[in-house]
A and B are shown apart, each in its own frame.
Chain A
Amino acid sequence: MPLDPAAVAAIDDLELSARLVVEGLRTGTHRSPFHGFSAEFSQYRQYRPGDDLKHLDWKVLARTDRLYTRQFRETTSMGVMLVLDTSASMDFPAGDLSKFRYAVILAAALAYLVVAQGDSVGLMTLDHDRLSYVPSRGGRPHLRRLLALLSGLTPSGVWSPDRAIARGAELLRRRGVMLVISDFYDAEDETRRELRRAARRGHDVTMLQVLSREELAFPFTDDVEFEDAETGTRRLVSARAVVGAYREAIGAFVDRCRDEARRDGIDHALFPIDVAPDQALRRYLVAR
């Protein structure tokens, strides 16, 4: 039975929340969803620029004239970097279960999962325009430290996703997994550029796009004065008059995020926050 997102969000102890989510998503999954590069062969995947040529399967190339890279199960510790959007736009909707709270729970659950399987995890975020990060390490003490940092974060202001992503990619010394949790509203072009760059560095990059149902469906009918959470700009509109254009625009935006991510070899996952986090994570991890 999926966890109630609001119930999970109401748990103050982030470690407990993360454990609940992870226990839930483990049902039906038996292998690590994160694949590194190791001596133990895991699977093939299509070659992409930046892959080490030594992992290219030359025999397959000779037979099929296609480029495939052999993946190996990580035998050494795999590095995972969580990049979390802490901008004010994530502080929506008002109440216990905001996008930010949902993103924090996702991040905590992923960290818990990574540490539990013996890998290392780090966190990169921006705290009032100042980069704040925890390097990628393993172990329970490190996990608690990371969760403590996550618990202390509050969404505010704007953030520079390009800086956070670029710095996060740098901090992963070896090729690792980078999970960017955001609504991806800010600096769309710069964000895309840095994500692409991180992928070309060999990282396994995933965009975890967290959006609320209100943003997707725009369930407003009366006159509403919208205030931009980050800039404070106000706009008074008849919601009924703009709902069509809004839905079209938000749909196009999500499509664009997904299509461009796919084009750049980046995973993309959409997480409406009214979906149980364990359920959403399971879908994402199974898809990997």
Chain B
Amino acid sequence: MIWLNPWAWLGLAAVAVPVLVHLLARRTVTRLRFPTLRFIAVARLLPARRRRLSDVPLLLVRVATIVVAAAALAGPLLLTPGRRAAAEAARSVAILVDASPSMTRADASGAAPIDRARDAAARAAAAAAMSRTTEVAAPDLDAAVRGAGAWLADRGGLREVILISDFQAGSLSAGAADALPTGIGLTLVPIHRTAPSTVDLPDLHRGADTVARHVSDAAVGRAVDWIVTAGAATSPGAVVIRAAEADGARAAALLAAVRAMTAVPSPMGDAAPSPAAARRIVIVLPGAPDRDALAGTAAAVDQPWMSDAIARMAMATARVAGDAPMATGPADEASGAMTIVARDGAGAPLAEAGAVTVDGAPALAVFTRTPADAMTTAALVAGAIDAVAPGVPASEFEPASIPRETLEAWQRAPRPAPPRADGPDGPSDARWLWAVALVLLAIEGWMRRRGGIDDASAALDVAGTDDGTEVTRGRVA
């Protein structure tokens, strides 16, 4: 049983009317000239205003009439096996395949997730009587779902939108199903990326809170690891943030700031670095345990990608406003063995970079003098990310997917479209409820007319005939 106009249930509020009438109705006294009072007993008057419901059977009939009428207005449709089979046979499906960068880049398995998504779309299309498959490149999946709903709106039978995606956090809102027309279902099919084998870093926690998160970018074959605490594992092509243990609490603010900054297009454009280059950038915050040791080994930048990275970080810090006044030095300006990446308003260096070797691999170390929650620090990290994976939107750095439980909650089962008025089934099954309502109205009218006469014939039991006349002979044997 489904309801074609569920809003009509609001009509149930009308039940209050007869209840109030029966509760608050004040009786009026009528005066009547009567042949004799000898049979009318002296009786105490009932209270003028009743505190209890009066004439409960009549009230129940009236309430039932309203409930049945509201149900009829709500348009009940009984899903008989026949109706369900007919709707299933006429199933229309709009298939949306997420073609965003996170889906198109190959993962650790060597294949792009979109290939698996296309296979799933083909299977779904084969099972439907009518289907349309669309690949959505835009990160906003909500708009795509609405468009698919509009395409299905005028179709009959079962209608369903199937969205196949890796469902990165933020790519779909909770209200996506609500934006669909009534009756159109939404099925969410998650496609999981295979994580690179070289990266196996769990999220980092401090107590119960996640303070840093593993981010991977399989498109360039590297992982970008944000590590707030020092000494954790790293991997080639990573951005590693090394900070003091005490700065862990500031990780969330730092990451949020970085995400905001990476959403801005890179001033360096989308020119991708050479895939062969193994880029690793280590952001060393003040107080990091190995800061001095690492600085002691820093050498002058000697690789082109390092210069490119320094330029990107310098441009990123130049965009920062609201932090300390800062002047950015040229990428090739050196302070000893290191290159100054950013300066404050007085010209003092805020960050310097140098070539180091970490775990036997070359890396670019950036020694900041700004704390973890400073905007300059966030700008440096954003620039570093841009250097490792340029042109990738910020959301693509957030591999956390919408949990499966959430996706299941956002799904909506399809319901058959309302049958056409000229169809064999009629508009709905409301006519039966209307018939019941009419019967109830008739009963209500009968009860109202009946009033206090429970059974007039009972008072006429003296009558010897149907109409009450009676003749009794006095001369009986």
Contacts and interface: CB of A to CB of B under 8 A. Distances in A.
B36 A89 contact: yes
A233 B43 CA distance: 15
A175 B408 CA distance: 104
Contacts of A287: 471, 473
A129 to B, nearest CB: 19
A269 B474 contact: no
Given A216-B468, A246-B41, A279-B467, A226 B32 contact: yes
A90 B463 contact: no
Interface in B23-68: 27-46, 48
A15 interface: no
A267 B471 contact: yes
Nearest to A208: B471
A48 interface: yes
Contacts of B467: 272, 274-275, 279-280
Please classify the interface of chain A as helix (H, G, I), strand (E, B), loop, or mixed, using the class held by over half of its residues.
Answer: mixed
B438 to A, nearest CB: 25
Interface string A56-97: 000000000000000000000000000000000111101000
B452 interface: yes
A269 B30 contact: no
A247 interface: yes
Nearest to B450: A219
A241 B47 CA distance: 12
Interface range on chain A (Cβ under 8 Å from partner): 35 or more
A223 B32 CA distance: 10
Interface residues of B, number: 45
Interface stretch (B201-209, B255-263, B289-297, B453-461): B453-461
A243 B45 contact: no
A222 B29 contact: yes
Contacts of B463: 270, 272
Nearest to A195: B474
B25 to A, nearest CB: 10
A117 interface: no
Nearest to A275: B467
A254 B41 contact: no
B472 A269 contact: yes
Contacts of A233: 37
Contacts of A240: 46, 452
Ranked nearest first, the 9 interchain pairs of A and B with the lowest CB-CB distance are A221-B452, A89-B35, A249-B39, A287-B471, A272-B468, A217-B456, A270-B470, A266-B474, A247-B459
Interface of B: 27-46, 48, 451-454, 456, 458-465, 467-477
20 contacts: A205-B474, A216-B456, A216-B459, A218-B452, A220-B452, A222-B28, A225-B29, A228-B34, A228-B37, A237-B45, A240-B46, A250-B39, A250-B459, A262-B473, A266-B474, A267-B472, A272-B467, A275-B469, A283-B469, A284-B469
Interface of A: 45-46, 48, 89-92, 94, 99, 183, 185, 199, 205, 212-213, 215-231, 233-243, 245-247, 249-251, 253-255, 258, 261-262, 264-272, 274-275, 279-280, 283-284, 287-288
